[in-house]
Copies of this chain bind each other. A is one copy, B any other.
Amino acid sequence: MSKTIVYEVEVMFGDCDPAGIVFFPNYSKWMDGASLNFFRQCGLPPWRELQKTRGIIGTPLLEIHTRFLRPASYGDRLQIHTRITEWRNKVFIHQHVVKRGDELLCEGTETRAFVVHPPEEPDRIKAIPIPEDIKALCSRRESGCSDSSAC
Protein backbone atom coordinates (compact mmCIF):
# COMPACT_ATOMS: atom_id res chain seq x y z
CA MET A 1 0.00 0.00 0.00
CA SER A 2 1.22 3.46 -0.87
CA LYS A 3 1.05 6.73 0.99
CA THR A 4 -2.17 8.69 0.83
CA ILE A 5 -1.79 12.33 -0.21
CA VAL A 6 -4.56 14.90 0.05
CA TYR A 7 -4.97 17.49 -2.71
CA GLU A 8 -7.38 20.36 -2.25
CA VAL A 9 -9.33 22.26 -4.90
CA GLU A 10 -11.86 25.06 -4.67
CA VAL A 11 -14.72 24.78 -7.14
CA MET A 12 -14.99 27.81 -9.45
CA PHE A 13 -18.17 29.21 -10.98
CA GLY A 14 -16.87 28.16 -14.39
CA ASP A 15 -16.48 24.54 -13.23
CA CYS A 16 -20.26 24.29 -12.90
CA ASP A 17 -22.88 23.62 -15.53
CA PRO A 18 -26.38 25.02 -16.16
CA ALA A 19 -27.72 22.72 -13.41
CA GLY A 20 -25.50 24.71 -11.03
CA ILE A 21 -23.32 21.72 -10.12
CA VAL A 22 -19.79 20.67 -11.03
CA PHE A 23 -19.61 19.54 -14.66
CA PHE A 24 -18.42 15.96 -14.17
CA PRO A 25 -15.33 15.91 -16.44
CA ASN A 26 -13.80 18.40 -13.99
CA TYR A 27 -13.52 15.59 -11.45
CA SER A 28 -11.27 13.76 -13.91
CA LYS A 29 -9.20 16.91 -14.35
CA TRP A 30 -8.82 17.32 -10.59
CA MET A 31 -7.93 13.63 -10.16
CA ASP A 32 -5.23 14.16 -12.77
CA GLY A 33 -3.98 17.14 -10.75
CA ALA A 34 -4.11 14.97 -7.62
CA SER A 35 -2.08 12.24 -9.38
CA LEU A 36 0.68 14.65 -10.38
CA ASN A 37 0.60 16.20 -6.91
CA PHE A 38 0.91 12.70 -5.43
CA PHE A 39 4.14 12.03 -7.31
CA ARG A 40 5.52 15.51 -6.53
CA GLN A 41 4.76 15.06 -2.80
CA CYS A 42 6.47 11.64 -2.96
CA GLY A 43 9.60 13.39 -4.17
CA LEU A 44 9.48 13.05 -7.97
CA PRO A 45 10.48 16.04 -10.10
CA PRO A 46 8.01 17.42 -12.71
CA TRP A 47 7.64 15.36 -15.90
CA ARG A 48 9.52 17.99 -17.92
CA GLU A 49 12.63 17.29 -15.80
CA LEU A 50 12.13 13.53 -15.66
CA GLN A 51 11.93 13.55 -19.44
CA LYS A 52 15.38 15.12 -19.68
CA THR A 53 17.02 12.83 -17.13
CA ARG A 54 15.26 9.52 -17.73
CA GLY A 55 13.05 9.89 -20.78
CA ILE A 56 9.85 9.45 -18.77
CA ILE A 57 7.24 11.79 -20.20
CA GLY A 58 4.38 11.10 -17.82
CA THR A 59 1.77 8.56 -16.76
CA PRO A 60 -1.02 8.61 -19.36
CA LEU A 61 -4.32 6.89 -18.73
CA LEU A 62 -5.37 3.49 -19.97
CA GLU A 63 -8.67 3.37 -18.13
CA ILE A 64 -10.82 5.34 -15.67
CA HIS A 65 -13.79 4.32 -13.60
CA THR A 66 -15.65 6.94 -11.56
CA ARG A 67 -18.78 6.98 -9.42
CA PHE A 68 -20.60 10.23 -8.62
CA LEU A 69 -22.46 10.20 -5.33
CA ARG A 70 -23.25 13.78 -4.36
CA PRO A 71 -23.02 17.03 -6.31
CA ALA A 72 -20.79 20.01 -5.42
CA SER A 73 -21.03 23.63 -6.45
CA TYR A 74 -18.89 26.77 -6.74
CA GLY A 75 -17.25 27.95 -3.57
CA ASP A 76 -17.04 24.40 -2.18
CA ARG A 77 -13.62 23.23 -1.07
CA LEU A 78 -12.97 19.59 -1.99
CA GLN A 79 -10.28 17.25 -0.71
CA ILE A 80 -9.03 14.50 -3.01
CA HIS A 81 -7.45 11.61 -1.11
CA THR A 82 -5.08 9.84 -3.48
CA ARG A 83 -3.08 6.64 -3.16
CA ILE A 84 -1.84 3.77 -5.31
CA THR A 85 -3.72 0.56 -4.59
CA GLU A 86 -1.88 -1.78 -6.93
CA TRP A 87 1.43 -1.99 -8.76
CA ARG A 88 1.50 -4.42 -11.68
CA ASN A 89 4.43 -4.94 -14.02
CA LYS A 90 3.76 -2.06 -16.39
CA VAL A 91 0.67 -0.38 -14.95
CA PHE A 92 -0.51 0.90 -11.59
CA ILE A 93 -3.90 1.71 -10.13
CA HIS A 94 -4.59 5.11 -8.58
CA GLN A 95 -7.52 5.52 -6.25
CA HIS A 96 -9.02 8.98 -5.68
CA VAL A 97 -11.65 9.66 -3.04
CA VAL A 98 -13.21 13.13 -3.33
CA LYS A 99 -14.68 14.56 -0.16
CA ARG A 100 -16.15 17.83 1.05
CA GLY A 101 -15.08 17.59 4.66
CA ASP A 102 -16.66 14.37 5.88
CA GLU A 103 -19.03 13.91 2.96
CA LEU A 104 -18.05 11.50 0.21
CA LEU A 105 -18.83 13.08 -3.19
CA CYS A 106 -17.10 10.96 -5.77
CA GLU A 107 -14.60 8.14 -6.06
CA GLY A 108 -12.60 6.82 -8.93
CA THR A 109 -9.79 4.63 -10.07
CA GLU A 110 -7.31 5.29 -12.82
CA THR A 111 -5.10 2.75 -14.60
CA ARG A 112 -1.89 4.46 -15.66
CA ALA A 113 1.53 3.55 -17.06
CA PHE A 114 4.91 5.29 -17.08
CA VAL A 115 5.77 5.98 -20.71
CA VAL A 116 8.75 7.00 -22.83
CA HIS A 117 9.29 7.83 -26.48
CA PRO A 118 11.11 4.70 -27.76
CA PRO A 119 14.38 5.87 -29.42
CA GLU A 120 13.61 3.84 -32.52
CA GLU A 121 10.17 5.47 -32.91
CA PRO A 122 10.37 8.93 -31.34
CA ASP A 123 6.80 9.85 -32.39
CA ARG A 124 5.27 7.00 -30.40
CA ILE A 125 4.89 6.40 -26.69
CA LYS A 126 5.58 3.09 -24.97
CA ALA A 127 4.94 1.83 -21.44
CA ILE A 128 7.99 0.78 -19.42
CA PRO A 129 8.16 -1.55 -16.41
CA ILE A 130 7.39 0.46 -13.25
CA PRO A 131 10.76 1.85 -12.08
CA GLU A 132 11.61 0.26 -8.73
CA ASP A 133 12.96 3.50 -7.25
CA ILE A 134 9.72 5.35 -8.02
CA LYS A 135 7.71 2.53 -6.50
CA ALA A 136 9.87 2.75 -3.38
CA LEU A 137 9.45 6.53 -3.14
CA CYS A 138 5.67 6.28 -3.31
CA SER A 139 5.47 3.38 -0.90
CA ARG A 140 7.86 4.51 1.76
CA ARG A 141 6.18 5.27 5.04
CA GLU A 142 8.06 7.26 7.57
CA SER A 143 7.16 6.29 11.12
CA GLY A 144 4.29 8.28 12.53
CA CYS A 145 3.13 9.36 9.11
CA SER A 146 -0.17 8.14 7.75
CA ASP A 147 -2.80 9.33 5.35
CA SER A 148 -1.80 12.94 5.45
CA SER A 149 -0.61 15.49 2.98
CA ALA A 150 2.10 16.29 5.48
CA CYS A 151 3.80 12.91 4.90
Contact = CB atoms under 8 A, between A and B. Distances in A.
Interface in A49-72: 57-58, 60-68, 71
Interface string A35-49: 010001000001110
A122 to B, nearest CB: 11
A58 B19 CA distance: 8
A20 B57 CA distance: 11
Nearest to A18: B20
A26 B62 CA distance: 15
- Give the number of copies in the complex: 4
B60 A19 contact: yes
Nearest to A67: B63
A66 B64 CA distance: 5
A68 B57 contact: no
A28 interface: yes
Interface of A: 10, 12-14, 16-21, 23-26, 28-30, 32-33, 36, 40, 46-48, 57-58, 60-68, 71, 73-75, 125
